[in-house]
Amino acid sequence: DKGEFRHYMLKEIYEQPKVIAACLEGRISEDRVLTSSFGADSAFLKDVENIHIVACGTSYHAGMVAKYWIEELANIPCSVEVASEYRYRKVAVPKKSLFLTLSQSGETADTLAAMRMAKGLGYLTTLAICNVPSSTLVRESDLTLLTRAGTEIGVASTKAFTTQLTALLITSIAIAAEKGELSDDKHTALVHALRSLPSYVDAAIKQDSAIKLVSEHFANKHNALFLGRGPMFPIALEGALKLKEISYIHAEAYPAGELKHGPLALVDETMPIITVAPNNQMLDKLKSNLQEVRARGGELFVFGAKETGFAQAEGIHYNEIPWVEEVLEPIVHTIPLQLLSYHVAVVKGTDVDQPRNLAKSVTVE
Ligand code: M6R
């Protein structure tokens, strides 16, 4: 039931504060991530020395964000690959590696095949972060962390993604703590940040009507370029996927530092450039990348906290989003991009919940 909402996608975007809270429930105490979240077999948290993440589509983007968290917090190498590639190549598995799959449905054919293949490759264990408790992936994986997003009906994944990220951040913190890479103070600070996450996401959703206004600029666009740096690069990829999936506008995402290496040639007055600005040491670098774009006439759409110093200006559409702790930015900054693609699709009159050519669950290769 869509209730007061016009589409399931919008309903699911608005459910995010609630389902993220559900994902955190019982998995954190006042100041610690609880290893019991992983069941009785949580020894892998201490033993793991390397991680392979395998997934498809939006779930793959969640894995790309996790790589930044895992390497930063737990100081162990992490690689991320789409399941359709992983399953058809010879994979070298370092000692004490964790195989981690991400899937909303738990029925994606390539992800299942990758997991079945991995079981014969000598991994420490296989962990699935999944939304559907009764799915094949959950049944066949050694360990499971459920995302608790509830049924997701819109083909464009929204709440499944942000709950995957929440579960991945819990996992990254748990590994970092068990491996002795996290000071008590840092651990406490991270858990306090996690506790605020539902209210931050709620504050980001409150920008809905402002983002709706911005979406009108996309009514006649045929292309869009998303830029991000650091963990905001996978968020840019996810923003581009959402836009192409439901509005059929051709969208690409690049790490902003790659602009000069090719995509800058695409930029002229007809090209909208969308970016979510982080509030960290990458901000100045991003700003200089954006100047290069402005200098070629590209129209900028910037989402960022007011601390980033962006403001409305000639050729710059600025939308404020709340300030949040750096580690949470990938989750909270996803919200404006979900809302943007939703409203652009509504403006274009496409079938938001059931885009052409796509199925909710890709159970065949
Ligand atoms: O159920 P899964 O998470 O395994 O699905 C993976 C992809 O098919 C899925 O994320 C797809 O990319 C979405 N339609 C994106 O919105």
Of the CA atoms within 13 Å of residue 49, those in its CB half-sphere come to 4
Tell me how far the alpha carbon of residue 104 lies from the centroid of ligand 1, in angstroms.
7
pLDDT band at 360 (very low <50, low <70, confident <90, very high): very high
Could you tell me the distance, in angstroms and rounded to a whole number, from the CA of residue 236 to the centre of ligand 1? 16
Percent of the chain with pLDDT over 90: 86
Residue to mutate (ligand 1; options 58, 84, 243; most atoms within 8 A of CB): 58
Report the separation in Å between the CA atom of 251 and the middle of ligand 1, taken as the mean of its atom positions: 17
Identify the band that residue 280 occupies on the pLDDT scale cut at 50, 70 and 90: confident
Statement: residue 1 has pLDDT above 90: no
CA of 63 to the centre of ligand 1 (A): 12
ipTM value, please give it.
0.98
pLDDT of residue 55: 98
Pocket test for ligand 1, best of 13, 56, 100, 115 (most atoms within 8 A of CB): 56
pLDDT for 289:
87
Averaged pLDDT, 326-349? 97
The per-residue pLDDT for 242 is 97
Mean pLDDT of 343-365: 92
At residue 336's C-alpha, the angle toward residues 272 and 355, to 5°, is: 75
What is the set of active-site residues?
A: 360
pTM (two decimals): 0.97
pLDDT of 252 over the 90 cut? yes
Q: Pocket of ligand 1, candidates 104, 161, 342: which has the most ligand atoms within 8 Å of its Cβ, to mutate?
A: 104
Report pLDDT digits (tens) over 65-102. Answer: 999 999 999 999 999 999 999 999 999 999 999 999 99
Site residues for ligand 1, CB cut-off 6 Å? 56-59, 103-105, 108, 111, 155-157, 241, 245, 361-362
- Kindly report, residue by residue over 287-334, the tens digit of the pLDDT: 888 888 888 988 999 999 999 998 888 899 999 999 999 999 999 999
How far apart are the CA of 29 and the centre of ligand 1, in A?
Answer: 31
pLDDT for 27 equals 97
**Does residue 251 surpass a pLDDT of 90?**
yes
- Least-confidence region, from 24-33, 81-90, 281-290: 281-290
What values do phi and psi take at 311, rounded to 5?
-150, 165
CB < 8 Å & 24+ apart, contacts of 303-310: 303/274, 303/275, 303/276, 303/277, 303/333, 303/336, 303/337, 304/276, 304/277, 304/278, 304/279, 305/277, 305/279, 307/279, 308/277, 308/278, 308/279, 308/283, 310/277
The per-residue pLDDT for 300 is: 93
pLDDT over 90 (residue 23):
yes
Q: Mean pLDDT, the chain, as a whole number?
A: 95
Atom in ligand 1 nearest the alpha carbon of residue 111: 4
Ramachandran angles phi, psi of 54, nearest 5°: -135, 130
Residue of the nearest CA to atom 11 in ligand 1? 57
pLDDT of residue 244: 96
Dump pLDDT digits (tens) for 207-217.
Answer: 999 999 999 99
Q: Express each pLDDT in 36-67 by its tens digit.
A: 999 888 999 999 999 999 999 999 999 999 99
